[in-house]
Amino acid sequence: MTNLQKENSSYSNPRGELDFNIGEYLLKLKRRWIPALAVFMFTVGTTAFLTSFLEKTYKSEGKILFKKNPTLIKGIGTEVKELESILVNQTPLSTEKIRITSEPVIQQTIDQLKLENAEGEPLRPKDFAKRLNVEIVGGTDVISLSYKDPDPVTASKVVNTLMDVYIEEQINSSISTTANASAFIDQTLPKVENKLQSLESSLQNFYEKNQIVDLQEEKRILVGELGNLNRQISTVGAELKGKQAQAANIQNQLGLNLNQAVRADQLANTPQVQSIIEQLGATETQLSQERQRFNDNHPVVASLNEKKQALNSQLQQLIRQYVGAQVSTGLLQSGNNIKDNQLERFINIKIEELSLQTQVSALDQYRNVYEKRSSQIPRLEKQEQTLLRQVETARDSFGTLLANKENLAIQKNETTANAEVIELGQVPEEGSTGRVALLTLGILMGLFLSNITAILLEMQDRTLKTIPEVKQKFSYQVLGIVPLDNLQESQGGIVVQREPDSFASEVYRMIQTNLKFLAVKRQPKVILMTSSVPGEGKSTVSANLAAAMAQLGRKVLLIDGDLRKASQHELWQVSNKSGVKDVVAHKTPLAKVVTQPMKQLDLLTAGIIAPNPLALLDSSEMSELVASARKEYELIIIDAPPLAVTADVLTLSKLVDGIVFVSRPGVVETESAELAQETVANANLSQKVLGMVINGVKPNEFDRYSYHAKYSKNYFSGSSGSSPSKTAPA
C-alpha cells in the first residue's frame, strides 16, 4: 500500500484536484439520487400542472424609425429636435425607449382605448408595462414595440395607439421647446446687446486713457528703442571715461584745474603779457650775446640780468593776480607748441568731457521713460485681453441669438417629429401560452433544487464517506484498503480461512506484508487493533489478518480484548465459556483455554463477561499473560474495543508494541474521528500507531484508489490452484 500512497501523492496537481472535486460531487449526488430525483420530479410535475392553467395570449408588434434632424437652435442652453445622447456610453435610442414606456404615454394609451383588467377596472400602468416589450433593434435606428393580450385585435390597437401617442407627445414637446426658446431669446437679446455696448465703450475708454493705438506694436517698438538706448549709453559712457582719463593725466602735468587753465589762456592772449614775454625774449637774446663777449660780472651783463628779473617778477605778479597758481612762462608764450598741446588741449578735452556727460544724462532720462512705459505693458495687456475676451463673448452670444431668432421663425411652423412609424401592429393570427418556456424553467429549477437537496443532505451527514475524507482526517499511514464484500458480510466467518485464494484474502496478506516492512527500529510483536466507533469491522479485520499471518507459517495468538462486547467467538464459531477472564482471574493455563480454529493460529476468546473488565485488563496477571505469550508466539493480535468508548484501549496500549486503526467510510463520523485522535495525542500514543486499515470500501471507490485492484482481481479470477501462501508484492 506504500506504492498506493506514492501514486496518490504524485498526482496532487490542480487538474487532479479539479477531477477529484467533480468526482466527489458526482459521488455525493449518486448517494442522494433518490431524494434528489424526488425533488426534481415534484418540481417538474408541479410546473407541468401549472401550465395547464395558462391562458393563450396574442402578440402584436410595430416598429418606429428614428431620424437625426439638424438642430436650428444652438448655444442658448436648449437643444431642439436633435437626437443625441448626453452620456458617452449611452445611445439616444435608450432615452427614447424610456420615453415610450413612461407613465404619461402609457396612461394616455389606456385612456384612449379604455383598457380594463379581468375585474372590469381600468388597467393600471404597471400591469400594462408587464405586457409591453420595447427593444432596440441591434445595429439600426429602429425600436420594436410588442404587446400581449388575450384579444388579438386589442393587442394590435394597443401597439398602434401607443406609437401614435408617443409621436404626438414628441411633436408637442418640440413645439413647447421651440416656444420656450423663442421667449428666452426675446428676453435675453436686449440684455446681451446692452452688455455688448457697455463692454465696447469700456474698451474704447481704456485705449484713450492709456494712449494706446496698437499695444503689440508699441511693445515691439519699446523693446527696440530700449536696446538702442542701452547701446548708446554704453558707447558714450566708454568715450566719457576715456576723456576723463586724458583730462586727469594732463591736469596732473599742468597742476591746474579747468578754471585756472582758462584764465591762464586768457592771460596769455592779453597785450601786456605778450609785451612782457616779447621783452623777456629780447632780453634773453641780448644777454646771450653779451655773455659771449663779457663775463657775468660785467656791468652790461649784470644790467641785463636785472632787467630779466624785473620782467619775470612783473609776469609772475600778473599770473598770481589772474590765475591764482603757478604757471610756466613757456605756457604763456604765443605760438609755442607746448601751449598748443597742453593748456588748450586740456581745455578742449574738458569741454568734450562735459558734452559727453550731458549726452549720457539725456540718454539715461530717455531710458527711464521707456522703462516706465514698458513696466506698464503687462498690466495693460492683461486688461486689454480681458476686455477683448468679454467683448468677443458678448458679440458671439449676440450673433448666435440673432441667428437663432431667425431660425425660430421658420421652426415655429414645423409640426414633424424625428420618429416615423415604419411598421404598424397587425392583428396576430396565432397565440402562445408560454407552456414550453415555463416547462423549461421548471426543469432548470428542478435540477437546481435537486442538487441543493443532495448537498444539504450531505452537509447534515457528518460521516466520513470516502477514502480521501478518511485519509484527510487521520494522518496515519495507510496499511491497506479492504474492499466491501457483501457475500462475506451476509455469510459471516473468516474469508481468509474460507477462501484462501480469493482477492480479499490477498488484501490481508498485503496488509501483513506492509506491517513487516514498516520503517521502525523493532518489528512489532504485539499489535492492538482498535477503531474510533463500533461497527467499523475491527474484529473482522483482526481475525482475517491473524488468519493471513497463520497461513504464512507464523505462529499467531489472537486475543479478544473486547471484554464488554466480544465477537471473535462468533466469527470463528467457537465456544466462549472460557477465555481471558479464566486466564487472568482464575490463573488457568493459557494452553487449556485457547482454541485452534486453524493451523498455526490460537484463539483466546473473551470468555464470560466480568463485572469489571477494566480491572482484569489493568491487572498484573494480564501483563504476565502477554509477557508469556511473547515467548511462545511469533505474533500476538489483540482485538480491543473502540478507542473513544472505554478506557480499555489506553490500558492495553501499555502491553503492546503497536496500534493499528481500523476505519470504515460511512460509519465513522467527523467528531468521533477527532475525539479518537485527541485521545491518542493526550495519552502520548502517537508513536505507537503503526498505521490505518480502511475497511469496507465500496468496489467502485476501491477500484479508483487502488490502481492495482483491477489487475489483481483479473489475476485471481482467472487463476486456479494458487497456493494459499502466495502473496502479492507490497
Instruction: Give the CATH number of the domain where residue 489 resides.
Output: 3.40.50.300
With a CB cutoff of 8 Å and minimum separation 6, the contacts of 642 are 530, 531, 532, 533, 534, 536, 538, 649, 676
- Whether the Cβ atoms of residue 243 and residue 352 lie closer than 8 Å to each other: yes
What is the domain range of residue 617? 472-718
- Whether the Cβ atoms of residue 552 and residue 598 lie closer than 8 Å to each other: no
> Does a structural domain hold residue 94?
no
Place of cell 597758481: 325
Asked if residue 11 has pLDDT above 50, the reply is no
> Does a structural domain hold residue 690?
yes
> Does a structural domain hold residue 345?
no
Distance of alpha carbon 595 from the chain centroid: 76
pLDDT 10s digits, 566-604: 899 989 999 988 899 888 888 889 989 999 999 999 999
Q: Within a 10 A sphere around the Cβ of 60, how many other Cβ atoms?
A: 23
> Does a structural domain hold residue 417?
no
Q: Residue 608 is placed in which grid cell?
A: 464470560
Which range has the top average pLDDT, 438-447, 462-471, 511-520? 438-447
pLDDT 10s digits, 321-349: 777 666 766 666 654 444 455 777 778 88
**Alpha helical stretches, state H, 526-611:** 538-551, 568-572, 580-585, 590-593
> Does a structural domain hold residue 727?
no
The predicted structure's pLDDT at residue 628: 92
Report the C-alpha gap between 72 and 62 in whole angstroms. Answer: 31
- 635-639 vs 689-697, strand pairing mode: unpaired
Domain count of the fold of the chain: 1
Asked if residue 83 has pLDDT above 50, the reply is no
Report the C-alpha gap between 661 and 395 in whole angstroms. Answer: 99
The pLDDT confidence band at residue 5, using thresholds 50, 70 and 90, is very low
The predicted structure's pLDDT at residue 544: 92
Radius of gyration from C-alpha coordinates of the chain: 65
pLDDT 10s digits, 251-286: 787 777 777 777 777 777 778 777 877 787 788 888
- Whether the Cβ atoms of residue 530 and residue 539 lie closer than 8 Å to each other: no
**Alpha helical stretches, state H, 75-151:** 92-100, 103-113, 125-131
Asked if residue 196 has pLDDT above 80, the reply is yes
Average pLDDT over residues 392-403: 86
Q: Within a 10 A sphere around the Cβ of 591, how many other Cβ atoms?
A: 8
The pLDDT confidence band at residue 80, using thresholds 50, 70 and 90, is very low
Place of cell 465456544: 575
Q: DSSP secondary structure string, 378-414? A: HHHHHHHHHHHHHHHHHHHHHHHHHHHHHHHHHHTT-
pLDDT 10s digits, 597-620: 999 999 999 988 777 888 888 899
Report long-range pairs for 452-456 (Cβ below 8 Å, ≥24 apart): 453/32, 453/35, 453/36, 453/39, 454/28, 454/29, 454/31, 454/32, 454/33, 454/35, 454/36, 455/28
Percent of the chain at pLDDT > 90 equals 11
Q: Residue 474 is placed in which grid cell?
A: 487521520
Report the C-alpha gap between 672 and 666 in whole angstroms. Answer: 12
> Does a structural domain hold residue 286?
no
The predicted structure's pLDDT at residue 27: 66
> Does a structural domain hold residue 133?
no
Report the C-alpha gap between 9 and 705 in whole angstroms. Answer: 12
pLDDT 10s digits, 353-369: 888 889 888 888 888 88
> Does a structural domain hold residue 214?
no
Closest listed residue to residue 688, CA positions, set 548, 539, 467, 530? 530
The predicted structure's pLDDT at residue 495: 85
pLDDT 10s digits, 197-228: 888 888 888 888 888 888 788 888 888 888 88
Percent of the chain at pLDDT > 70 equals 81
Instruction: Look at the pTM and tell me if it is higher than 0.75.
Output: no
Question: Which three-class secondary structure state does DSSP give residue 236?
Answer: helix
Q: Residue 230 is placed in which grid cell?
A: 542701452
Report the C-alpha gap between 292 and 296 in whole angstroms. Answer: 10
Closest listed residue to residue 556, CA positions, set 658, 634, 638? 634
The predicted structure's pLDDT at residue 277: 77
